[in-house]
Amino acid sequence: MLKKKVEEILVNQIEKEAYSSNLYLAMAVWADTNGYEGTANWLYAQAEEERLHMMKFIKYVNERGGKAIIPSVEQPPSEYKDIKAVFAKVYEHEQYVTELISGIVGVCLEEKDFTTHNWIQWFVTEQIEEEASVAAINDKLRLLGDHNLYMFDRDIMGMRGQVPASSE
């Protein structure tokens, strides 16, 4: 059975994961309508992954005796200056999600909910991988400057989920 504080923070995370999915969908639409097909596909895949994360939280809350609440979600921005601005925002957002997951870990420890603490470790690892992957994309964009974005866009799906060797 979930303790009330743990249930509340997990239910809050459901909304955050839903927003993440919608944010990446909005970015994907921007990329799609601006000729960045590869980037759009990468972002569509990220949006789906965030939706699956939301589902993990929903199922976990319900399985542990709580009640998941399906939230309304704030509309994300739909316009971006350029591809670099998109990925700068992706990185900033992933850092924010990492903070949220760390907050859940903290509440689990405060409440001595070691079952949820153990379960949330998957998300801790996931966030390490997400941040490293997006940091690598931002590094590549910095190296490119304003050139060869066609090749970047063509090759981005090959970068999906890759963690740089120095992070392993």
* Annotated binding-site residue? 121: no
* Annotated binding-site residue? 50: yes
- Domain-located, residue 87: yes
* Annotated binding-site residue? 127: yes
Residue 151 belongs to a domain with what CATH number? 1.20.1260.10
- Domain-located, residue 125: yes
Is the CB of residue 130 less than 8 Å from the CB of residue 100? no
| Entry pTM | 0.90
Question: Residue 112's domain spans which residues?
Answer: 4-156
- Domain-located, residue 9: yes
- Per the structure, how many domains does the chain have? 1
- Domain-located, residue 167: no
pLDDT (tens digit, 0 to 9) for every residue of the chain, 168 residues total?
999 999 999 999 999 999 999 999 999 999 999 999 999 999 999 999 999 999 999 999 999 999 999 999 999 999 999 999 999 999 999 999 999 999 999 999 999 999 999 999 999 999 999 999 999 999 999 888 877 787 788 888 777 655 444 444
- Domain-located, residue 33: yes
Tell me the C-alpha distance between 167 and 158, whole Å: 18
Tell me the C-alpha distance between 98 and 92, whole Å: 10
